[in-house]
Structure 1
Amino acid sequence: MSSAPESPKSQVKPWPRLRRGLEHDFTVVKVREDAMADPRTHMEHRRVRMDCADWVNVIAVTKQDELVMVRQFRCGIDAATLEAPGGVIDPGEDPATAAARELEEETGYRAGRLEALGVVHPNPAFQSNRCHTYLALDCERVSDGDPDDGEDIAVELHPRADLPRLILEGHITHSLVVVAFFLERLRAEAKR
């Protein structure tokens, strides 16, 4: 794949940090407001930064071609959402190991095969972390699962063929989950 050469006008310079703000630790995220300098105008701008651990999403598919999904309450929207299993990658943990762990903890399913699909930045405007996406194939139920404290999860199986409808009708609205399924589609198309 070739790309157009970068013109001097399109080169973006890094923004120097003038001052690091006071950090607030909320367990799952650390938030601070830094003073940054626009390299073009040298004007000072305040920017919020959220430091989170890296995350993992798992598109889990059974031998019967069903998606293993989870439904859980999300405080940000005060509603339950239908999502792919996933969660936080522990410090020093390999993302693939985290994917297998999160899948089994949240759903009780274990993958026969695990394939990396890609990595995205959830929101690089103010978040520092990455989200790794994996495809888990030939999943079989091996337990009832063991969710973390603070997780109340219902496991749902959906025919894989229903995925476009689930997204287009607004049953799946979590942006990182939609991106995960897009990455899966791109990988499948690239293999053709």
Structure 2
Amino acid sequence: MSHLIHQWKSIRLEEEQVTLPNGKTITHTNIQHPGAAVILPITPDGHIVLVDQYRPSLKKWLLELPAGTLEPNECPLTCAKRELEEETGYVASEFIALGQVTPLAGFCDEIQHLFVARGASKDSECNLDDDEVINVSVRTLTDIQHAIVNNELTDAKTIACLSKAQLCGYL
């Protein structure tokens, strides 16, 4: 049985007794997260759409791929399409699922679903949540790789999605 410590939106902080595979019982604190979609939007000319988003927890801007939390009972693809348009104003002609990553497995059950969005083009204005401050940035893969090497792009989900897309032959 778990004990709710705190809830914010659809994210819950809970504590529970867990018996480990070695038989030892511990008190484990876990963040329950509904999951997220991470989108790698590629324009017809091969550029990549990123967001430069202010992250209050770090008190700084982070360059990252568009992403967002799944709504209740929402499938990851629907979330990916919605978040791409809301955060960037872009839509894509094709979405390809790349699989999943588990970003914080030591204390959070979040699963991030990765997508390549081909044929990304500007369709509308951004429709941001009240707590989102975002600037859209369109860059070449080479520029993004340099930003990673130079620690200008440090967002783990972005680096993971780019790596998986390269390994799968989409970049």
TM-score, normalised to structure 2, is 0.92
- Local SS of the residue matching 1:21: strand
* Match of residue 49 from structure 2: 68
Contact residue 60 and residue 139 of structure 1 kept, 8 A: yes
Q: How many residues align?
A: 170
Note closer, same or farther for the CA distance 1:112–1:132 as it changes in structure 2 (3 Å cut).
same
What is the CA distance between 1:51 and its match in structure 2? 0.4
Superposed CA RMSD in Å reads: 1.6
* Match of residue 4 from structure 2: 22
Structure 1 counterpart of 2:62, one-letter code = T
Contact residue 4 and residue 12 of structure 2 kept, 8 A: no
What is the CA distance between 1:76 and its match in structure 2? 2.1
Structure 2 counterpart of 1:47, one-letter code = H
- Local SS of the residue matching 2:106: coil
Structure 2 counterpart of 1:84, one-letter code = L
1:49 and 1:187 map into 2 onto residues whose CA distance is 32
Deviations 1:60-105 (A, max 9, x none): 1111211111011112211110000110111121211111111111
Larger radius of gyration: 1
Structure 2 counterpart of 1:137, one-letter code = R
After superposition, where does 1:71-82 map in structure 2 within 5 Å?
71-82=52-63
Query: Is there any run of 5+ residues in structure 1 with no aligned partner, and where?
Result: 1-18
Note closer, same or farther for the CA distance 1:22–1:28 as it changes in structure 2 (3 Å cut).
closer
Structure 1 counterpart of 2:66, one-letter code = P
1:33 and 1:97 map into 2 onto residues whose CA distance is 31
Is 1:35 matched up with 2:20?
no
Structure 2 counterpart of 1:105, one-letter code = E
What is the CA distance between 1:28 and its match in structure 2? 4.4
1:185 and 1:121 map into 2 onto residues whose CA distance is 19
* Match of residue 10 from structure 1: none
Query: Is there any run of 5+ residues in structure 2 with no aligned partner, and where?
Result: none
* Match of residue 123 from structure 1: 104
Is 1:150 matched up with 2:116?
no
- Local SS of the residue matching 2:74: coil
Q: Which of 174, 179, 189 in structure 1 is aligned with 2:155?
A: 174
Moved more, 122-131 or 133-142: 122-131
Contact residue 21 and residue 35 of structure 1 kept, 8 A: no
1:39 and 1:100 map into 2 onto residues whose CA distance is 39
* Match of residue 110 from structure 1: 91
* Match of residue 100 from structure 1: 81
2:38 and 2:2 map into 1 onto residues whose CA distance is 31
TM-score, normalised to structure 1, is 0.82
